[in-house]
Chain A
Amino acid sequence: MSEYVKESERSISARMRQALKSFGLPRLIIALFLLLMFVLTPFAGSNLVSQITNVINRFSWNAVLVLAMVPMVHSGCGLNFGLPVGIIAGLLGATCAIEWGFTGPVTFWMAILIATPFALLFGAAYGWLLNKIKGGEMMIATYVGFSVVSFFCMMWLVLPFKKGDIAWGFEGTGLRTTFPLDKYYEGVLSNFLRVQIGRLVIPTGALLFFALLAILIWAFLHTKTGTAMTAVGSNPNFARASGINVDRIRLLSVVMSTWLAAVGILVYEQGFGFVQLYNAPFNMALPAVSAILIGGASANKASITNVIIGTILFQGIVTMTPTVMNGLINLDISEVLRMVVSNGMILYALTRKTEVSR
């Protein structure tokens, strides 16, 4: 009897160790840290419920951008450091929709509609390029993203946008660096079916929209093409041998990622309430990359669960640390902490030998 108990105990501890290993030490530390932040919130003199509301809100803004990582990771194109390519498509959609006179919530759907051809076009070109340079995707994706963003820095100035809300009125040409969306699609998703219980506010619409996209992606990954994509990601040679057109699948995944990024930035803007042009897209790739890694993904494996957990953890840390740190020790090291945590997470993923993305 006692033998038996010991045996099962051992297996439990072994299983726990196994679970811990698969969960990953950095992830555990981050999760514990976030938990600590939640516990400390009341002591820091801020309201726990409003903090949770904050985290849920930030989640609803950013989740789609993180979701945009999934298709490319699945097809073995690695982490999508070229997220800005899709973001630019989304920004084109937003600016064009406003320029062409749409107002109110309908702008959001028009922006998605207008952004789609841009996203398909950019995605196709981007995917074609990534097919040419298999093995070096991540570095090149980074710089393709930068090139596109800096190219569009010029375009925002030169393109003939005229509408006073978004363009510099008196200097003639050029779009503003930031403009508000209150007359357009601010909160179009967040305010839909919004639930408010005391201080707790749940942006149901935005969460539902994310859920819809996530289910679509999940369903897609279980179709024939979707499983082919996973096969390409896990073993391209085997996939090729079994008659899958590897390049076509990879191209498809890049187009999907790019389109999701375009939609993702629009969802972000409807929550944030502002459109940011010029240099802003530079800063968008790394947080999304590290969020999905924190969620348990690696350079060649990512699931919807990773997206959800990662976004909650990452946004949790980003929103909680400033308030808690400020309240407790009057020292705002949150920005520095965010840089160290997010980039440290990416480094951790890049240095794990077993997960080479080729």
Chain B
Amino acid sequence: MKTRRILFCACAILVLIAIACAMLVIGRGHTMYFDNKDLEYDGQTYAASHRINVYVNDERVARLSEGDRGLATFTGQSFSFDLVVTRVDDGEEENFSYTLKVPYAEDGIIVNLPGLIEDLPEDAWMSEFVPVPSVEEEEDEEIVIDEFDMAMEDDMGA
């Protein structure tokens, strides 16, 4: 009886840990930034397109002119999206579909679309997005510890 209970508890804990791990993997949120900008690689220049539309699940998330940046958020380590590219003004529309694997540790990933379309190696068009901390925000905020904080508009919604 006792061993059965211990076994049951161990199983329950294992299941919880397994779920937690799964959540860590599938719930990791990333932001992908799409750049429609000129790319220099190996001495060659890949020019930005006239217009690129980015679709996720058939929903347009970004409409990029030359030099624009758009973004989309997603969870998990792989991200699928479709591109509709118009290289020059009044040119023909080309369709692309991609599924990219992204590193777990990076919050934001920049993808250079002209490089991606040209099938360059990954390090050419993928890089980490590092946010620049704003300077004026650097002063300390006051933390008020009040045992009887009656500011209930916050807590309970006014």
A184 interface residue (CB < 8 Å to B): no
Binary CB contact string for chain A from 83 to 126 against chain B (1 if under 8 A, 0 otherwise): 00000000000000000000000000000000000000000000
Which A318-340 residues sit within 8 Å CB-CB of chain B?
A: 335-336, 339
Q: Closest approach, in angstroms, between the C-beta of B64 and any C-beta of chain A?
A: 49
Could you say which of A282, A336, A339 contacts B148, with CB atoms under 8 Å apart?
A282
Interface string of A334-358 (1 = CB under 8 A from B): 0110010000000000000000000
How far apart are the CA atoms of A82 and B91 in the complex, in Å? 81
Measured CB to CB, the closest approach of chain B to A199, in angstroms, equals 30
Q: When A and B form their complex, what is the total count of cross-chain residue pairs whose Cβ atoms lie within 8 Å?
A: 12
Contact B145–A283 (Cβ < 8 Å): no
Chain B residues whose C-beta falls within 8 Å of the C-beta of A335 in the assembled complex? 145
Chain A residue total in the interface (Cβ 8 A):
7
Counting contact residues on chain B (CB < 8 A from A), the size range is: under 10
Residues of B within 8 A of A11 (CB): none
Decide yes or no whether B150 CB sits under 8 A from chain A.
yes
Residues of B near A283 (CB, < 8 A) are: 147-148
- Dominant SS among interface residues on chain A: helix
A47 within 8 A of B: no
Beta-carbon nearest neighbor of A278 in chain B = B150
- Given the complex, which residues of A lie within 8 Å of B145, measured CB to CB? 335-336, 339
Q: A residues near B, CB below 8 A?
A: 279, 282-283, 286, 335-336, 339
Give 5 nearest A-B pairs by CB, closest first. A282-B148, A335-B145, A279-B150, A279-B148, A283-B148
Q: Can you report 11 A-B residue pairs in the complex whose CB atoms are below 8 A from each other?
A: A279-B148, A279-B150, A282-B147, A282-B148, A282-B150, A283-B148, A286-B147, A335-B145, A336-B145, A339-B145, A339-B147
10 additional contacts (CB under 8 A) given A283-B147, A339-B147: A279-B148, A279-B150, A282-B147, A282-B148, A282-B150, A283-B148, A286-B147, A335-B145, A336-B145, A339-B145
